[in-house]
Amino acid sequence: MEAQPCVLENEAAKVPPTSIVIFGATGDLTHRKIIPAIYHLEKEGRLDAGCAIIGYARRPKTDDEFRAELRQALGEVSRSKPVDETIWRRLANRIYYQQGDLLDEQGYQQLAARLQALPESARFGQTHLFYLATAPEYFGPIAERLARAGLTPLPGSPAPRRLIVEKPFGRDLSSAQELNRILHTHFPEDSIFRIDHYLGKETVQNLLYFRFGNSIYEPLWNRRYIDHVQITVAEKLEVGRRGGYYDSAGALRDMLQNHIFQLLTLIAMEPPASLRAAAIHAEKLKVLQSIALPAEDELLARSVRAQYAAGAIDGRPIPAYCQEPGVAPHSKTETFVAWKLEVDNWRWSGVPFYVRTGKALARQFTEINIVFNRPPSVLFAAVCGQRLSRNVLRIRIQPNEGIQWIFNAKLPGRQAIHEVGMDFFYRKDSSQYLPEAYERLLVDALVGDATLFMRSDEVEAAWGIVDRLREAWDRQPIPDLPLYQPGALGPAEADALLERDQRHWRNGDEG
């Protein structure tokens, strides 16, 4: 008989009455992620009837126009189809629009007055969650204006006032420190929720449960048994309409500083003292602090940057990155990065962590491969030579979320050995529903649980590492950035990075 699940505290808790104020309310993120997440929380009965949603943006618009716009966008998000009109109407009655400029002080005074006048204010009182879904240059100015309008946390008040900050959180260490300084002037650290949406993904959360909820992995999880670790976040989509932002970011800032480092810390961290946010953040921070960076020449030799050329993926023409709208015609921004990192601590010393990410690649997949030491071949040398395949634990973050062990077994009917896979895939069991990352993150921010958000010191440590590579790149500009064909898995240089160490990338469709 199957054991009953052990349910952690907070699960299925109703979120307390809160006003959720979204800055950047007419943007893509609000339409595609935030409102659909709120709708699903309403549907699951997680939102208290005293929760109101207020969109704040520049364009004049009535509440009804705003609601109609959100309803239309909701219908286009596949997970929400078909939209349950009864639920939507119940939610839409508590959605409001407040017109105002992000920099205009008066707008914030009007917002404060509007919050008090809403019918739900009798329930949410002074409890507010401010969601900054705007361009990053507004994060600091919004916090300052909220403070002047009396909307920041009140000393001694039991009513929480919290801030969700979207990425990017700074563009290097000094800008992240400056942003932290401004935010901390008005909000204590435990009221600031910095989003990395990868932490909201079920399979990413499962890394902790998988590692620390089983007894068989821990003895193997170290330099004695593990040869190396690979983390790949491959995207099939090209930069598309986001060229303006992306050209000043690049793959290193856009994906590696946040998402890839979060995956790496969850794989490499020591068991935390508890599942509380502070204990988990402390262990993740130690991993980042243990990343050893070599001298500049070696740092450059361990990294690969490249850009996609013109080509096609599955017959769909793809312009060269430099011809994408919003991108400088001679841009040297990388759309692909690979890096060999070392976590130089007692557990991992000598175990390389190879990471890579890129756009316009052959397949969309995010995967972590833990590659174990090669078994001695003595017994099977006659059939397989000196090189038995290594055992691999393949953790599939998306799509086809799951976990697979790859090991050697006898080929039936033959005196031969081959690799086989033993797997668990979430979607084999259709009753397994994987909630969207934003649903989980919103609930956690509403109840004040910061475990799945990035703490200030973590963000700064991650920037410190990325800055070292960025500065090395800037000091040694290469006249010709390597190009790769759309639909490939990056440039040949990325393959060479592993081949030098007699290793190869695992490309998602193997095993």
Q: Does residue 197 carry a catalytic annotation?
A: no
Residue ranges in 291-350 that form contacts with ligand BG6 under rule CB under 6 A: none
Residue 357 near residue 483, CB atoms below 8 Å: no
Cα distance between residue 218 and residue 216, in whole Å = 6
Residue 291 near residue 203, CB atoms below 8 Å: no
| Backbone region of residue 365 per phi and psi (left: phi > 0; alpha: psi in -120 to 50; beta: other values) | beta
Question: Is residue 120 involved in binding ligand BG6 (CB under 6 A)?
Answer: no
Q: Closest residue to ligand BG6, Cβ-based?
A: 254
Residue 266 near residue 284, CB atoms below 8 Å: yes
From the number of C-beta atoms within 10 Å of its C-beta (0-12, 13-18, 19+), residue 220 rates as middle
Q: CB 253 → ligand BG6: shortest distance, Å?
A: 9
Q: If binding means CB under 6 A, how many residues of this protein chain bind ligand BG6?
A: 3
Q: CB 250 → ligand BG6: shortest distance, Å?
A: 10
Cα distance between residue 321 and residue 243, in whole Å = 9
Give me the DSSP letters along 235-269: --S--GGGHHHHTTTHHIIIIIIIIIHHHHHHHHP
Question: Cα 44 to chain center, whole Å?
Answer: 24
Q: CB 335 → ligand BG6: shortest distance, Å?
A: 10
Q: Which long-range contacts (CB under 8 A, 24 or more apart) does 316-321 make?
A: 318/238, 318/360, 318/486, 318/487, 319/238, 320/483, 321/238, 321/239, 321/360
Query: Is the CB of 254 or the CB of 439 nearer to ligand BG6?
Result: 254
Residue ranges in 166-225 that form contacts with ligand BG6 under rule CB under 6 A: 167
Q: CB 366 → ligand BG6: shortest distance, Å?
A: 6
Residue ranges in 149-168 that form contacts with ligand BG6 under rule CB under 6 A: 167
Query: Is the CB of 17 or the CB of 36 nearer to ligand BG6?
Result: 36
Cα distance between residue 331 and residue 452, in whole Å = 35
Query: Is the CB of 235 or the CB of 449 nearer to ligand BG6?
Result: 235
Query: Is the CB of 272 or the CB of 486 nearer to ligand BG6?
Result: 486
E-strand spans in 104-158? Answer: 128-132
Cis peptide before 82 (omega within 30 of 0): yes
User: Which one, of 137, 133, 168, lies nearest residue 28 by Cα?
Assistant: 133
The three-state secondary structure class of 40 is: helix
Question: Helix crossing, 35-43 with 85-92: angle to 10°?
Answer: 110
Query: Is the CB of 367 or the CB of 467 nearer to ligand BG6?
Result: 367
User: Which one, of 386, 385, 367, lies nearest residue 509 by Cα?
Assistant: 367
Convert residues 228-257 into a mask of x (bound to ligand BG6 by CB under 6 A) and - (unbound): -------x------------------x---
Residue of 197, 259, 281, 418 marked active site? 259
Q: CB 315 → ligand BG6: shortest distance, Å?
A: 22
Query: Is the CB of 120 or the CB of 166 nearer to ligand BG6?
Result: 166
β partners of residue 95: 53
Query: Is the CB of 145 or the CB of 253 nearer to ligand BG6?
Result: 253
Q: CB 257 → ligand BG6: shortest distance, Å?
A: 10
Q: CB 246 → ligand BG6: shortest distance, Å?
A: 7
Residue 316 near residue 193, CB atoms below 8 Å: no
Q: CB 65 → ligand BG6: shortest distance, Å?
A: 29
Query: Is the CB of 254 or the CB of 324 nearer to ligand BG6?
Result: 254
What residues make contact with ligand BG6 under the rule CB under 6 A? 167, 235, 254
- Could you give the residue numbers annotated as active site? 259
